[in-house]
Each structure stands twice: as structure tokens, then as C-alpha cells.
A = this chain, B = another copy of it.
Amino acid sequence: MKKITLAHGSGGTLMHDLIKDLFLKHLDNPFLNRLGDSALIDTRKKKIAYTTDSFVVNPIFFPGGDIGKLAVCGTVNDLAVCGARPQYLSCGMIVEEGFDYTDLEKITLSIKAACRQSGVNIVTGDFKVVEKGAADKIFINTSGVGEVFEKAHLSISRIRPGDKIIVSGPIGDHGAAVLLARGELKFRSRLLSDCAPLSGLISSIICRDIKFMRDPTRGGLATTLNEISLASGYNISIDESCIPVRGPVMALCEILGLDPLYMANEGRVILIVSSGSASRILSRMRRHTLGRASRIIGEVERRRTKRVYLKTMVGGARILDMLMGEQLPRIC
């Protein structure tokens, strides 16, 4: 009998297949079928974005954040990359019997701080307790609602050859920080997760010249670019020498045979912008704390084989596939 594997939750190919063959097949409707980070709903007067995410990160506290901060930032970011101003969040917690009250309070305070920073409120919630052993400590689901900016004109169908790819900062920090926090490696570093709400950065730059945005979470930069290439039809090429990766992330990846291009991020955004506007948008991004290290890393190609290419430092080019299985379970 077919079983669900960790790879089905990876953000990679297997998860995409599951979504297509099971969920879209049965729950088919025009909102869900778009498979955006948020659903976009037209009401009489305005467009609303609506999204959800469950968080099962292990460990629940890690350098740079915890499951509470992550649960707010994750949902805020899914709304923000759809061009919406995050406004209202829901929060559902599933807690294992015996969980420390003080840890629950710490997590609640992180939620509070992240809500403040993002300008959102938790307006509805739910709290469930399961018996010891039926859940690993705490899982948090958040959903979120936000109004889409009138200035936002985001659509994968607007992507054209020559468009530039921008990333808002170093990649892989979250994945590496969580991996290190598991404490199974003798590797010391002051590396912090990049976990942060992108709503401020994005609202400061949103304009018609931004054609598409996405936050490269599970599956990392490589998987997100593959999704964009698949959906737009155009090849994408990125330049290894332009992709910012911190020293400790690179070192950790080398030791473990991981690739930072597939590591999860929780406070980074990838933008596809028209060629002529790229330097203007880049300089505006760099004025924001969360965008100081923004870089143009590549562009949309004319060819339509739906491939992502990495131009390597030694002058070659290799195909970057979508993540196949699971690189790192419970990273978010």
C-alpha cells in the first residue's frame, strides 16, 4: 500500500505530485488551482489574499527565532509576496500534554513581537492538547488575510525574457541555523536564522515593475526558481558568483554534502523585475534593513525548456533541478 513519506512534505517534486494528483484532483476550484502562496479573492471593492501554513519546526527554539516567530513570519510573508498588506491572522496550536507552560509563554511572546513588527493581529485562535507521545511538543498553524495593494501587478504570466532575478539577502541561513540547533553536529557558529517578516520591505518597494515575488522556504532558492520556470515556461539562469551565501552556511553545507541553493529561508524574497527597473528596485531594497544585501543573481532566458541553469564560478553551467525528496525534514 502506498505510504506518505517525509519527502511528500519536502516542498519538492514529490509534494508537487501529491498536491496535483490528490488535492487539486478532488478539491479543484479556480482559487486553489492557481497554487499561489496565497489565494486571491475578488470581493466587490477589493482583492483579498488568504493563506495558511502549519509549522512543525524541530527544535522549537533556534538561534534567531522560535516556532512562534516562524508561524507569524511564514504567513505574513506568504501574503506579502502576493502583493498584500498582511492584516489579520488566525493561530491554532496543537500541544503535547506535559509541555512547559513557560515555553508556551515564550512562544506566545514571540508571536506577539512578530505581530507587532509586521503590523498584524491574531484575531482568532484555537488550542488543542493531545496526550503525551501523540505530538512532538507543539505544532502551530497560522492563516492570514490581507488586502492586495492597488500598486501590485503580480502575475507569473507577465514574466518575459530579459527580466532580472533579485534575491533580498544571503540564502540558507534558516535551514543551516535549524540544522545546527539540533545539536547533532560538532560545529559551532553564531549563525542566526533569517526568519523575519517581509511585509515592511515589500510595501516599501511594491510597484508595477515587479512582475512576480516568492519567498524561497522549503526547497530553497533552486526549487522556487524551478516553480517559476515551470509556470512561466521560460528558462532561468543564475550566476553562482552573484548568489550571497554566508561563510558558515557554506562550510556546513560542504561538511554535510548539502547545497545552500536548496536550503530553506524564512526572511528572504525572490523578485522577478523588468530589466529596466532592476537597478532602481535594487537600490530601494537596499535602503531597508532586510534588503541591505540584495543582489541581482540572474535573468529570465529566451529558451522555453523550463530549466533553471547555474553558471558556475569555474565557467560552466549545470542544470538545477527541483528538490526531489527531502533535504531536511521539519525545517519550518
| A residues adjacent to B (C-beta < 8 A) | 1-10, 15, 18-19, 22-23, 26-27, 29, 31-32, 36, 38-39, 41, 43-46, 50-56, 58, 88, 90-102, 104-105, 108-109, 111-112, 115, 121-131, 133-136, 139, 141, 143, 145, 329-330
User: Least Cβ distance of A52 to chain B in Å?
Assistant: 4
Copies in the complex: 2
Is B129 touching A329 in the complex (CB atoms < 8 A)? yes
Knowing A19-B127, A112-B27, say if A104 contacts B4 (CB, 8 Å).
yes
Query: Which residues from B are CB-within-8-Å of A3?
Result: 97-101
Interface of A is mostly: mixed
Q: Is the CB of A126 within 8 A of B54?
A: yes
CA distance A223 to B284 in the complex (A): 55
CB distance A31 to B88 under 8 Å? Answer: yes
Which of these, B2, B9, B52, B143, contacts A95 with CB under 8 Å?
A: B9
Query: If A45-B45, A97-B5 touch, does A126 touch B52 (CB 8 Å cutoff)?
Result: yes
Chain B residues lying within 8 Å of A53, measured Cβ to Cβ, are 92, 126
Q: Of all chain B residues, which has the CB nearest A18?
A: B127
**How far does the alpha carbon of A6 sit from the alpha carbon of B133 in the complex, in Å?**
12
A29: chain B residues within 8 A (beta carbon):
121-123
Cα A51 to Cα B50 with chains together (Å) = 13
Known contacts A4-B100, A8-B95, then 11 further A-B pairs from the complex at CB < 8 Å, ordered by chain A residue: A4-B101, A9-B129, A27-B91, A27-B121, A32-B121, A41-B123, A56-B130, A130-B329, A131-B330, A139-B139, A145-B145
Is B27 touching A115 in the complex (CB atoms < 8 A)?
yes
